[in-house]
A and B are shown apart, each in its own frame.
Chain A
Amino acid sequence: MKEAYIFDAIRTPRGKRKGGSLHEVTPSFLLGQLMQKLEKRHELDTSQIDDVVLGCVTPIGEQGANLPKMAAQYAGWNVDVPAMQVNRFCATGLETVNMAAMKVRSGWEDLVVAGGVECMSRVPMGSDGGPMAFDPKTNFKIPFVPQGIGADLIATLEGFNRQEIDNFALMSQQRATYATENKYFKSLIPIEDQNGILILDHDEHIRKEATLEDLQGLKPSFHKMGQMGMDAVTLQRYTEVERINHVHTPGNSSGIVDGAALVLVGSKEKGKELGLKPRARIVSTALVGTDPIIMLVGPGPASKKALKKAGMTVKDIDLFEVNEAFAAVVLRFLKDMGIDSLDNVNVNGGSIAMGHPLGATGAMLLGTVLDELERRDLRTALITLCVGGGMGIATIIEREDS
């Protein structure tokens, strides 16, 4: 069996939604520039790329029509390079990495670019509609409940109170601030305009001055949605729950941001041929489905599945990277996995501080944790995300000795 290696994982800074620096940048330009920089970093002969598999969760308007292929052409990549767009909701960015690994491990392809893009300030989340909006019979059957209600349900069931949730959020801000100030994010590539004038070189969603008081002053985000039938529909299925405790606020949920990420995956032979050094091996991947109403409890089962596939246990993992879609998701993951400390989980903060550009986040988390493995000289990491519709995804990587 062939192995799949990560040669590089880079990302753009994350721009905030309101008055954010990346708001003026089109998705094609953002992705295209990152592609150009990936090519330049490795003097990559792009004709050697077998496929470009990139995520985008709201692939409509300027993100529509197979954006990855258009962006590759815009970037000036060889016309021989094919590309496709993938949507597995929040898992997308990591899913593309896993797909790339599968392509390489099958032996049918040797070099694949994975990653994703989401310009959420430009193409709003949910603006693609979907059956829940346009097809009530489907909605009735599923039924559709927004993610935030699921997150609040997790907190309710697990008994996470607002204080614990906000404490976690504060830690995300502090860790992200510390990592930024100490330049830990080696995979972050500044974005410039067409003239080379800098547009953004840091994650601008971080609030380094955030305090617990600030966080506790914020109003719950999903209370109103709950009143509009969503709590009722949820409680009709979770019959033992008295009422949903709406603990999630904009301060302890992931930020809505713009960003893109790319991961270069390939076989060892191809790497040798092109002078690409493997940074890590993709050890195993996993996907699971869960109840779609609580929706966000996938990271635990997905991680267990990935560990099992790899013949590893929790103790074999040096660093965990769990997407901070909502604070409760990470706390629930710890419980599911029997992890009793946050010492090796999201050590440089996460999406609560830095934002969650849906199609790109998974690839960003992978790059971030790989940077950190190298910085700490550790070996293994597990990346996992909860996924809309009731799914979970996980990937285990192991650093490659040079």
Chain B
Amino acid sequence: MSFDYQKDEQGIVTITMDMPNRSTNVVNMEFLDSLQATVERLVEEDPKGIIITSAKKTFLAGGDIEILYRFKEPIAAFSFAEVAKGQVRRLETLGKPIVAAINGTCLGGGLELALSCHHRICVDNPKTKLGLPEVTLGLLPGGGGVTRIVRLLGLEKAFPILIEGKNMNPQKALETGIIHELSNPEDLIKKAKKWILDNPESSQPWDQKGYKIPGGNPQKLAPKLAFAPAMLQAKTWGNYPAPEAIMSAAVEGALVDFDTASRIESRYFAQVVTSKEAKNMMKAFWFQMNQISGGENRPKDIPPTEVKKVGILGSGMMGHGIAAVSAMAGMEVVMTDADEKTVEAGLANIKDILKKRDHNIIATTDYNKLKGCDLIIEAVFEDRELKGKVTEMAEKVMEITGIFASNTSTLPITSLAEKSSRPENFIGLHFFSPVHKMKLVEIIKGKKTSASTLAKAFDYVLKIGKVPIVVNDSRGFYTSRVFGTYPEEGMALLEEGQNPRAIESAGKQAGMPVGPLALMDEVSLSLLKKVRLQTQKDLGRELPKAPGDSVFELMMSMNRPGKASGAGFYEYPDKEKKYLWPELQKHFPEKNRLSQTEMMERMMFVQALETVRCLEESVVTSIADANIGSVFGWGFAPFKGGTLQFINDYGLRSFVKRAYELEKKYGARFKPPKGLVVMAEKDQAF
């Protein structure tokens, strides 16, 4: 039994959810059994009122993703939802006051249970989270969440809560109208009992006579509702079934009675929970994310470490960003730069990011202030000489046991470590810009990097609230190497005479956050040139000609390297939206028009194939790292669950077959690696 049942002398029953052998309560089969037994007992005993609370730190975390992930047949998912909701509905319509005493975080199925209670009181702890985040895993709140939020708040207010899936703190939840009352932890149950005694007979607003949906029914909202799907699709390009299903369930549900609405919700739940998109998203953002944060790639035998004082060399875009997130995690931070003016500017930027939060940051030009740092991260220009110099300078003053990290995005760590007096303490920490928003950090092991250095870097990344993936040293590491193939394929398509707007659209249709040419403009061709020159220098030979090279050369010769210079593939007029440079098609006249699907597949396949090569070359060593790295590093189509999951989604056999076709038409970059071919033959998957 997962629920404790206590009846007090006043006849009020308190149900305390406390699932054995788990740190949180979740909705699974065991939970449903307990719920059913409890409902039976409540119906029989006819108490004065009911309080639902939890013995855990959190109230109820939501549906058990393990179960949801396993649903293959819609009918099973439909029945699961209907059975669960049937029980809850019986309680809701018992005629007895029911209070949710929300003692901690209450998400998804947890909030859905609370919404079925007549009164909701929540502890006033800003760290407590409430919300319906199902959509972020490609799911729909199928436990009555859609039906009740719509009836509680009306369609217009319900949409963002259901469709964006953002969590809120109790204060915000109170303002939104999701909960009725706040309480300190000690008075929670007392307040619940008082409400029950004050409201001996109670029901939900929607079960009362004369109830109308707040803000009007769909008929009244028709003119506005006709725009809602377009506003959604403008963002999703139709790639996400879940938000569309949520919107449909909400509007269709608002047209009918509660029980019919609830059944419609179950049908959409069954539809999305069995969709490929939901499986991809659950796999990546739940299971693989948990693998990563659970330390799958952290050396097991090193005890937990803690960075207390961190030094940041360089106060530019990356430097001040890293300083800011470190300070936010409560670390002491020393940020240096070559001159006062620059370092002050960096500090001003940090204050913008931190807003009014307290911090402990020293901005200085004096390297002696780095004394006592157990981690130093350099974020100076991508220049070997400079990086070598600051490494030597910093190592002289920092803790001898401390570790030194380079935030390079391209230079091999092993070669940078040559300048270090303690190469075993040298590691790569590749942050993404803007640092305070991008969740990924790519940790790069040099040849000599020790396990304890890796463990320390890993713990640091988790402490600043980021997602660490661990990769081996190689040119461009994992993310830069694979990411680069996307804009390069875009340039190749342009070179072949594809319509530039169609290329950009294909990128977005495929699920990338921006088109390949727009992305190239962000990165800038000058950076690409710099990286290429450095690579040639390091290798001591010319790089072979690559598809898209003529585009690269032309754009450079026309002095259009990208957004920072105000001219690239796009024009950047003042105060107006950028638009594609009209001359592009003059230089690359349209011919042999390809279908959007063909272009989409080319741009996605190059990324997926390069990821497989990284895996085969042990640049990345885990599937989770490859997938999560691709989504959080460069925004690879989240509904595909990452570059390797993309291949699973496509089907390995079909993928290999298609890759061979593309290789034949467009060249060796589409050749499926041997290992992949073998996997496909054995019907394996990533």
Report which of B222, B255, B260, B267 forms a contact with A195, defined as CB distance below 8 A. B267
B264 with A195: CB separation less than 8 A: no
- B420 nearest CB across to chain A (Å): 59
Q: How far is the CA of A197 from the CA of B219 in the complex (A)?
A: 28
Is B74 positioned at the interface, with any CB of A under 8 Å from its CB? yes
Kindly list chain A residues whose C-beta atoms are within 8 Å of the C-beta of B271: 194-195
Q: Is the beta-carbon distance between A122 and B255 smaller than 8 angstroms?
A: yes
CA distance A193 to B222 in the complex (A): 24
By the criterion CB–CB under 8 Å, are A62 and B267 in contact? Answer: no
- Dominant SS among interface residues on chain A: loop
Decide if A24 touches B75 in the complex (CB within 8 Å).
no
In the complex, what residues of B have CB within 8 A of residue A62's CB?
A: 255
Contacts of A193 in B (CB 8 A): 267
Assuming the A-B contacts A195-B274, A196-B74, are A23 and B267 also in contact, with contact meaning beta carbons closer than 8 angstroms in the complex? no
How far apart are A71's CB and chain B's nearest CB, in angstroms?
A: 15
B219 adjacent to A61 (CB under 8 Å): yes
Encoded as 1 (CB less than 8 Å from any A CB) or 0, chain B from 75 to 111 comes to: 1001000000000000000000000000000000000
Contact of A197 (CB < 8 Å), options: B75, B260, B264: B75
Residues facing A in B28-85 (CB within 8 A) are: 74-75, 78
Q: Are B74 and A23 in contact (CB under 8 A)?
A: no
| Contacting pair A26 B274 (CB below 8 A) | no
Q: Which residue of A lies closest to B245 (CB)?
A: A194
Evaluate contact between A197 and B270: CB separation under 8 angstroms.
yes
Q: Are A195 and B263 in contact (CB under 8 A)?
A: no
Q: With a CB–CB cut-off of 8 A, which chain A residues contact B263? A: 24
Select from chain A the residue with minimum beta-carbon distance to B264. A24
Q: In the complex, which residues of chain B have a beta carbon less than 8 angstroms from the beta carbon of A195?
A: 74-75, 78, 267, 270-271, 274
Task: List residues of chain A with CB within 8 A of the CB of B274.
Answer: 195
- Shortest distance from the beta carbon of A278 to any chain B beta carbon, whole Å: 38
Q: How many residues of B contact A (CB 8 A)?
A: 16
Measured between alpha carbons, how far is A196 from B74 in the docked complex, in Å?
Answer: 8
CB distance from B582 to the nearest CB of A (A): 30
B382 within 8 A of A: no
Q: Contacts of A23 on B, CB cut-off 8 Å? A: 256, 260
CB nearest neighbor in B for A194? B271
Residues of B within 8 A of A197 (CB): 74-75, 78, 267, 270
The contact string, 1 if C-beta is below 8 Å from chain B, for chain A 55-80, is 00000011000000000000000000
A26–B270 CA distance with the chains assembled, in angstroms: 18
Q: Which of B242-284 contact A (CB under 8 A)?
A: 252, 255-256, 260, 263-264, 267-268, 270-271, 274
Distance (Å) between the CB of B227 and the closest chain A CB? 15
Residues of chain A lying within 8 A (CB to CB) of residue B222: 61
A24:B78 contact, CB within 8 angstroms: no
Enumerate A176-227 residues with CB–CB distance to B below 8 Å.
Answer: 193-197
A-contact 0/1 string along B395-428, CB 8 Å cutoff: 0000000000000000000000000000000000
Q: CA–CA, A307 to B222, complex, Å?
A: 47
Contacts A26-B252, A122-B255: A194 and B219 contacting too (C-beta < 8 A)?
A: no
Residues of A within 8 A of B267 (CB): 193-195, 197
Of residues 192 through 219 on chain B, the ones whose CB sits less than 8 Å from some CB of chain A are 219
Whole-angstrom distance from the CB of B310 to the nearest CB of chain A? 52
Q: Determine the distance from Cα of A193 to Cα of B79 in the docked complex, in whole angstroms.
A: 14
> How near does chain A come to B264, taking the closest CB pair, in angstroms?
5
Contacts of A194 in B (CB 8 A): 267-268, 271
| Identity of the chain B residue whose Cβ is nearest the Cβ of A23 in the assembled complex | B260
Chain A residues numbered 31-72 whose CB sits less than 8 Å from any CB in chain B: 61-62
A323 to B653, CA, bound (A): 57
* Chain B, Cβ-Cβ closest to A196: B74
Distance, CA A61 to CA B251, complexed state (A)? 13
> Please, what's the 1-or-0 string for B271-302, where 1 marks a CB less than 8 Å from any CB in chain A?
10010000000000000000000000000000
Cβ of B267 to closest chain A Cβ, rounded Å: 5
Within 8 A of B (CB), among A1-44: 23-24, 26
- Cα of A24 to Cα of B256 in the assembled complex, Å: 7
Contacts of A196 in B (CB 8 A): 74
What is the bound-complex CA distance between A351 and B520, given in angstroms? 66
Q: In the assembled complex, how far is the CB of residue A30 from the closest CB belonging to chain B, in whole angstroms?
A: 12
CB neighbors of B among A242-294 (8 A): none
Q: From B268, which residue of chain A is reached at the shortest CB distance?
A: A194
Residues of A within 8 A of B78 (CB): 195, 197
Q: Considering the chains assembled together, what is the distance between the CA atoms of A271 and B270 in angstroms?
A: 40
CB distance from B252 to the nearest CB of A (A): 6
Residues of A within 8 A of B264 (CB): 24
The smallest C-beta distance from A124 to any residue of chain B, in angstroms, reads 12
Task: Give every chain A residue within 8 A of B255 (Cβ-Cβ).
Answer: 26, 62, 122
Give the shortest distance, in Å, between A310 (CB) and chain B (any CB).
45
In the assembled complex, the CB of B142 is this many whole angstroms from the nearest CB of chain A, namely: 12
Residue of A nearest to B75 (CB): A197
Q: How far is the CB of A42 from chain B (nearest CB, A)?
A: 27
Residues of B within 8 A of A61 (CB): 219, 222
CA distance A194 to B248 in the complex (A): 12
Residues of chain A within 8 A of B260, CB atoms compared? 23-24
Complex: how many Å from CA A62 to CA B219? 9
In the complex, chain A residues whose CB is within 8 Å of the CB of B75: 195, 197
Q: Which chain B positions have C-beta within 8 A of A122?
A: 255-256
Residues of A within 8 Å of B74, CB to CB, are 195-197
Of all chain B residues, the one with the shortest Cβ separation from A29 is B252
Least CB distance from B83 to A in Å reads 15
Q: How far is the CA of A26 from the CA of B75 in the complex (A)?
A: 20
**Residues of chain A within 8 A of B256, CB atoms compared:** 23-24, 122
* A194 CA / B274 CA spacing, docked (Å): 12
Report the Cα distance A196→B523, complex, angstroms.
47
Tell me how far the C-beta of A101 lies from the nearest C-beta in chain B, rounded to whole angstroms. Answer: 36
In the complex, how many angstroms separate the beta carbon of B79 from the nearest chain A beta carbon?
A: 9
Across the two chains, which residue of chain B brings its CB closest to A195? B74
Rounded to whole Å, the gap between the CB of B400 and the closest CB of chain A is 63
Q: How far is the CB of A122 from chain B (nearest CB, A)?
A: 7
Q: How far is B269's CA from A194's CA once the two chains are assembled, in angstroms? A: 11
Min C-beta distance of B545 to chain A, whole Å:
43
A193, closest chain B residue (CB)? B267
Closest CB of chain A to B85's CB: distance in Å? Answer: 14
**Residues of A contacting B252 with CB < 8 Å?**
24, 26
A-B contact pairs, 6 of them (CB 8 A): A24-B256, A24-B263, A195-B74, A195-B75, A197-B74, A197-B75
| Extra contacts besides A26-B252, A193-B267, A195-B74 (16): CB < 8 Å | A23-B256, A23-B260, A24-B252, A24-B256, A24-B263, A26-B255, A61-B219, A61-B222, A122-B256, A194-B268, A194-B271, A195-B75, A195-B78, A195-B270, A196-B74, A197-B270
Ordered nearest first, which 9 A-B pairs have the shortest CB separation? A195-B74, A193-B267, A24-B260, A195-B270, A194-B271, A24-B264, A197-B75, A195-B271, A61-B219
